[in-house]
Amino acid sequence: MMVRQKETPVIDHLSLGVRDLGAARRFYDAALAPLGYRLVQDYETALGYGDGHARLWLLAAERPVKPDGKSGLHLCFSAPSRAAVDGFHRAALAAGGKDNGAPGLRADYGPDYYAAFVVDPDGYRLEAYCGK
């Protein structure tokens, strides 16, 4: 049986289709910067974000997944600090995102669960989380 190192992520990367790659770039460049993630791969029809390795890919898509707030789908980004969570929320709203939960402790998730929630321009629900 193979035992994985703790640092190995469960998912290597995730791809999301977006309507407007330029608008998505402006939003994700701003929203992810406070978390320490940046654009690491830039192609005509795809953008890869991460902290060295592209973990999130945004793809120009003819038919992106339609927003559905009841689907349960959301992406949660790890944040190095509570201040980074706050910065994510602020930057996402300034870049055209919609508020879906202000930064704060979520005691129902755990005693140290600090998170903020936004919706990106394509309707994807995003979260930044710090457990420290």
Domain at 34, CATH number? 3.10.180.10
Write out the residue range of the structural domain in which residue 40 sits: 14-130
- Within 61-109, strands assigned E span 75-78, 98-105
In a domain, 1, yes or no: no
pLDDT digit string (tens) for 77-115? 999 999 999 999 999 999 999 999 999 999 999 999 999
pLDDT digit string (tens) for 13-67? 999 999 999 999 999 999 999 999 999 999 999 999 999 999 999 999 999 888 8
- As a whole number of angstroms, the distance between CA 100 and CA 43 comes to 30
In a domain, 119, yes or no: yes
- As a whole number of angstroms, the distance between CA 85 and CA 77 comes to 9
| 100-126 burial code (b ≥16 CB/10 A, e <16) | beebeebeeeeeeebbbbbbbbbebbb
In a domain, 7, yes or no: no
* Structural domain count of the chain: 1
In a domain, 3, yes or no: no
Closest CA relative to residue 33, chosen from 69, 96, 77? 77
pTM over 0.95: no
